Amino acid sequence: MRDWLHEHPHPTGRELAEAGYVAPHWATPYGLDADPLTQLMIDEELRRSGVRRPINPIGIGWAGPTLMHAGTEEQKERWLWPLLSGEEFWCQLFSEPGAGSDLASLTTRAERDGDQWVVNGQKVWTSYAHIARWGILLARTDPTATKHMGISYFVCPMDAPGIEIRPLIDMTGEHAFNEVFLSDVRIPGDHLIGPEHAGWELAKVTLGNERVSLSGEGALWGMGPTAEDLVDLIRGAGGAPDPFTRDRLVDVWIEAQILRVLRLRMVSAVLAGRAPGGEASVRKAIADAHGQHIMDLARDFAGPHAMLSGTGPVGGWGRSGASPSDPTWSRGFLFSPALTVGGGTAEVQRNIVAEKVLGLPRDP
Ligand SMILES: Cc1cc2nc3c(=O)[nH]c(=O)nc-3n(C[C@H](O)[C@H](O)[C@H](O)COP(=O)(O)OP(=O)(O)OC[C@H]3O[C@@H](n4cnc5c(N)ncnc54)[C@H](O)[C@@H]3O)c2cc1C
């Protein structure tokens, strides 16, 4: 790999994809069938060379693994290369106004018409719909079946006639997610993934990957500053002003250590050939609240400066000498309430842990 990086010091997304370095754990030819140890080494070599993978979080994190799981060879060949290279961006058309946590209540309909599907309905909170080329779409194909049984899983071209995308501006002032209205949208028959009416099983594959993807070390779903960055920030500013702030800082640091150990536990479970099971949900439940604790403390520590909001670029925090009024921290604080909502709410994660890990009775 070092030789390859020597020959390709500034690889394009396509070159990284074709070398298998974007998702090395995927099966060949899209990945390298890499075991967890090899994956860690590849990550380290990329970091060492300052090479970044293409950005396509929903594509690489969620749509791709589902296509790997259930797509036909033609579907994989069509969609996975530009997905891995970042040439085609993806979004996720799952949530609806009446179907969030209870996703299986979704009412968007897809009806067969010859060799096409005709889709009508509304989606909401669709991150990146306005810049995506493709969307993974859940729609009801059999309204007479019980609610989990009549759903199918599609790939929707986001430029199809009948799709209207309306921006939703969130509390940070940014336009990340959208409402998406689908009126008589025609989707080619071969854009159905897996068997008809079997979409719920595939949705579970997507959501399982979502919980893993959102579990890096940064405070904001694995991105952004860490507890250690906050400790550095406060230390750099002359230390905690009072014992109460110091206590909170130590608590946040302890949480970060617990999360680090949970992460190692997940890695060693995979190394030992065991599925990570409920750990991903346990970790997400703790990590989301942890992100909010970091951001709350950063805001309190900044004092009146925290009232100065900005929309500076993400990055530049932590060790690079950011100040408490750095706009990236205020953006992080404004974004942090979303952590316990998106990708499964805090309550839903607890339900999963209760049922899958602790064996408690099912949520009524
Ligand atoms: C930043 C962000 C990005 C997002 N991006 C996308 C995207 O790209 N695509 C997409 O499809 N969706 C996206 N979502 C939507 C997200 O998946 C939903 O917000 C989430 O599933 C919760 O659904 P809801 O908002 O309808 O809340 P609801 O399900 O209505 O929940 C409301 C409240 O009721 C509680 N509750 C619900 N059911 C139970 C239960 N059984 N037990 C206990 N408490 C319960 C919840 O915990 C919550 O507090 C995004 C959300 C956020 C915040």
For residues 135-170, one letter each, b for 16 or more C-beta atoms within 10 angstroms of the residue's C-beta and e for the rest, the string is: bbbbbbbeeeeeeeebbbbbbbbbeeeebebeeeee
Give me the pLDDT at residue 213, please: 55
Distance 206 CA to ligand 1 centre (A): 15
In the chain, % of residues over pLDDT 90: 65
* DSSP 3-state of 184: strand
Give me the pLDDT at residue 284, please: 86
CA-closest residue to ligand 1 atom 29: 101
Classify the C-alpha dihedral 351-353-355-358 as positive or negative: negative
pLDDT digits (tens, 9 = 90+) for 261-316: 888 887 777 767 776 667 778 888 999 999 999 999 988 887 777 766 654 333 33
Give me the pLDDT at residue 277, please: 64
The ligand 1 site (C-beta within 6 Å) comprises 91-92, 94-95, 100-101, 125-127, 177, 338, 341-342, 345, 347-348, 351, 363
Distance 170 CA to ligand 1 centre (A): 15
* Cβ atoms within 10 Å, residue 130: 16
What band does 327 get if pLDDT is binned at 50, 70 and 90? low
What band does 35 get if pLDDT is binned at 50, 70 and 90? confident
Q: Residues near 275 by Cβ (< 8 Å), separated by ≥ 6?
A: 269
Pocket test for ligand 1, best of 90, 95, 182, 336 (most atoms within 8 A of CB): 95
Task: Answer whether 224's CB lies under 8 Å from 218's CB.
Answer: yes
Average pLDDT over residues 125-138: 97
pTM for the model: 0.91
Distance 80 CA to ligand 1 centre (A): 28
pLDDT digits (tens, 9 = 90+) for 158-185: 999 999 999 999 988 889 999 999 999 9
Give me the pLDDT at residue 218, please: 85
Q: In the numeric block, which tokens belong to residue 213?
A: 């993807």
Pocket test for ligand 1, best of 56, 124, 125 (most atoms within 8 A of CB): 125
Instruction: Select which of 73, 87, 201, 210 is catalytic.
Output: 210
Among candidates 134, 116, 129, 26, which has minimal Cα distance to 78?
A: 134
What band does 221 get if pLDDT is binned at 50, 70 and 90? confident
What whole-number distance in Å separates Cα of residue 290 and Cα of residue 336? Answer: 10
Q: What distances in angstroms separate CA 164 from CA 111, 129, 253, 342, one per listed residue?
A: 19, 10, 45, 23
Q: What distances in angstroms separate CA 181 from CA 119, 184, 195, one per listed residue?
A: 10, 10, 25
Residue 214: pLDDT above 80? no
**DSSP secondary structure letter of residue 133:** S
CA-closest residue to ligand 1 atom 45: 347
| 210: annotated active-site residue | yes
In the chain, % of residues over pLDDT 70: 90
